[in-house]
Structure 1
Amino acid sequence: MPWDLRDGEPVIDPAQVRALLREQHPDLAHMPLGEPVRGWDNTMVRLGERLALRLPRHAQAETLLDREAAWLPRLASQLAGLPSGTPHHAIPAIPTPVRTGVPRTGYPFRWAVVPWVEGTPAVHVPLEVRDAYAPNLAATLRGLHQPAPEDAPASAFRGIGLADIEDRFARRWDALAGGLGRERRDQLAEVWRRAVNAAPYAGPRVWLHGDPHPNNTVLAGVGPGPMASSPVLVDFGDLCAGDPASDLGSALLHFSPYGREAFMAAYDAGQVPDPALWARAQGWAVNYALIFAAQSPGEALRPLGRGLLA
């Protein structure tokens, strides 16, 4: 992933951020700024204790941020209005943008002020800590996977049928499968075969986070207690609606086999299990593992992908 500057990418420094705030949100301009931290799509700058600026690094990231600004308030409102007595229902925390900004002062993209989620990205904690929050993450996704309105955004990459990604999967598989042992290669090929042959999704389009992997999950505090109980999903740039199997496949990569069983049981609690859903989800998990495994050395998600494939 290109953490370094792309060609033509704006350089974001505290002076520029301060200028944007003074011009567009002067009531926030006095607050302390953290050092800019570059991610895949955005640069984050902490603002005071409870806020941060999210500044797209490229035009596509601006489009994703626009989606969050347009849809997250509606999603949060929909979830807040659900009956509180719904069995096993958990309303997830939705880090909705609190302010937006426009291009100015040498910065070419729209941007946002968002809540700061204090904690540690789950990708950086031991596997046993991630296993401990499996029921909580399952409850969060169950709460999120509610029917979406007809005009909810769709995605060409998530929430769709596995047949729609077979060509992409085949390219990724051909690039990496040769490095696997024969037994493991056959096992994973069978997982994918069962996934594409499973009954397609026939339910209503539900809200999806889009990318609920461990680097988009923040754990509050330090240590096994609060960290285990408080997974918070962040970065809703891939928010869309469709088949929940793609979200579940990404979520399965958080856990060991033991944690995956706990996650699946918690997600299914109070409803009739759907074997086809989990077959599709496991196929998505292999697909995401191939994507992560192909990342550059040093990327946080690469070991997760290679661990599942091994």
Structure 2
Amino acid sequence: MREDQAAALVGEQFPDLRGAPVELLATGWDNTVHLVGGRWIFRFPRRAIALPGVEREISMLPALAPRLPLPVPVPARVGRPGDSYPWPFWGAELVPGRELAEAGLSGAGLTTAAAGAGAFLRALHDPDLAAEAGAGLPVDPMRRGDPGVRAPMARERLAVLHRRGLWRPDPAVERLLAEGEAAEPPPGPPVIVHGDLHQRHLLVGPEGRASGVIDWGDLCLADPAVDLSLAYSGFSGQARAALLSAYGRPVGPGRETAARVLAVFLCAALADYAESTGRARLLASSLAGIRRAVSP
């Protein structure tokens, strides 16, 4: 989706934004995001596989946003499919902040960001929220909470990085993945999860204050481990302890293993994406995240 195409679509369906400046803000695997008029972000799916996620964002985020302690995008302008673009798209007011992966935070800043993320996840994972708002959500459709599924996938991603000279095999990572392959999914009822919570989707502001959570296309019901992977991919040491303390719910060894295994997978996938798109800072942060995933 080029800027001129986005401008034409937005201007056609939302006349008050016709002629507003349009800037490419981000490109991911499934969606392209443009900033319109310096205030509105418009999210355009890039392929059909992303459509169920777009529809969940449109239907669920307005209901979830008031229940969460950090801003999330709230689709307020929903675009219709047409001759020039075959899929629905949506616009929401910009959630300010920088991606955690790009912010270059210090130790104190990381601790602040981690505490904010933990408080956010405590609210999101509230069983009452799942009971009230989770009806109709799929249950872990990508099996991200099952370490027996994700550990072999992580191996495949790491092998790609190794062939490219970006990663050298690490015995600690190998032990974690072997443990994951032998593990059962964590027990317990599913909760509402973001579903893809990594270093690009937590936004931070000055001094590391968590400022928002974006990209909800994988929103679903699943084990909390799916989102707690951020504790192990994005943070270590005192910062991780701050996140888990703010989260305030027991994690347990099985859930921790599942979260760590998923952290390795997500960081390896991000590193692959970062290298192929020339994003040096994201690449460095993602490779560091693999090491964090096995750190105490």
Q: Same fold (TM over 0.5)?
A: yes
- Which region of structure 1 is more displaced relative to structure 2, 94-103 or 156-165? 156-165
CA RMSD of aligned residues (A): 2.8
Report the residue type matching 1:303 in the other structure: A
Q: CA deviation at 1:231?
A: 3.2
User: Structure 1 stretches (4+) deviating beyond 6 angstroms?
Assistant: none
Contact 2:118 2:244 in 1 (8 A): yes
Specify whether residues 303 and 27 from structure 1 end up closer, same or farther in structure 2 by C-alpha distance, changes over 3 A only: same
What residue in structure 1 maps to residue 79 of structure 2?
101
Aligned with residue 168 of structure 1, among 145, 153, 157: 153
Specify whether residues 166 and 279 from structure 1 end up closer, same or farther in structure 2 by C-alpha distance, changes over 3 A only: closer
CA distance, structure 2, for counterparts of residue 290 and residue 123 of structure 1: 14
What residue in structure 1 maps to residue 136 of structure 2?
151
Question: In the comparison of the two structures, how many residue pairs are matched?
Answer: 278
- Which region of structure 1 is more displaced relative to structure 2, 160-169 or 114-123? 160-169
Aligned with residue 42 of structure 1, among 31, 43, 52: 31
**Structure holding more helix per residue:** 2
What residue in structure 1 maps to residue 294 of structure 2?
none
- Highest Rg: 1 or 2? 1
What residue ranges of structure 1 are gaps of 5+ in the alignment?
1-10, 80-89
CA distance, structure 2, for counterparts of residue 273 and residue 38 of structure 1: 33
What residue in structure 1 maps to residue 282 of structure 2?
301
> Does structure 1 residue 206 correspond to structure 2 residue 186?
no
Structure 2 matches for 1:103-118, cutoff 5 A?
A: 103-104=81-82, 106-118=84-96
CA distance, structure 2, for counterparts of residue 253 and residue 296 of structure 1: 16
Specify whether residues 265 and 197 from structure 1 end up closer, same or farther in structure 2 by C-alpha distance, changes over 3 A only: farther
Contact 1:137 1:231 in 2 (8 A): no
CA distance, structure 1, for counterparts of residue 82 and residue 184 of structure 2: 50
CA distance, structure 2, for counterparts of residue 234 and residue 39 of structure 1: 13
> Does structure 1 residue 73 correspond to structure 2 residue 65?
no
Q: CA deviation at 1:158?
A: 4.8
Q: What's the secondary structure of 1:215's corresponding residue? A: coil
> Does structure 1 residue 132 correspond to structure 2 residue 112?
yes
Specify whether residues 124 and 38 from structure 1 end up closer, same or farther in structure 2 by C-alpha distance, changes over 3 A only: closer
Aligned with residue 243 of structure 1, among 214, 223, 228: 223
Aligned with residue 278 of structure 1, among 234, 239, 256: 256
What residue in structure 2 maps to residue 292 of structure 1?
270
Contact 2:147 2:183 in 1 (8 A): no
Contact 1:212 1:251 in 2 (8 A): no
CA distance, structure 2, for counterparts of residue 171 and residue 21 of structure 1: 40
What residue ranges of structure 2 are gaps of 5+ in the alignment?
292-296
Identity between Structure 1 and Structure 2 (%): 29
Aligned with residue 203 of structure 2, among 210, 215, 218: 218
CA distance, structure 2, for counterparts of residue 44 and residue 156 of structure 1: 24
Report the residue type matching 1:293 in the other structure: A
CA distance, structure 2, for counterparts of residue 273 and residue 250 of structure 1: 13
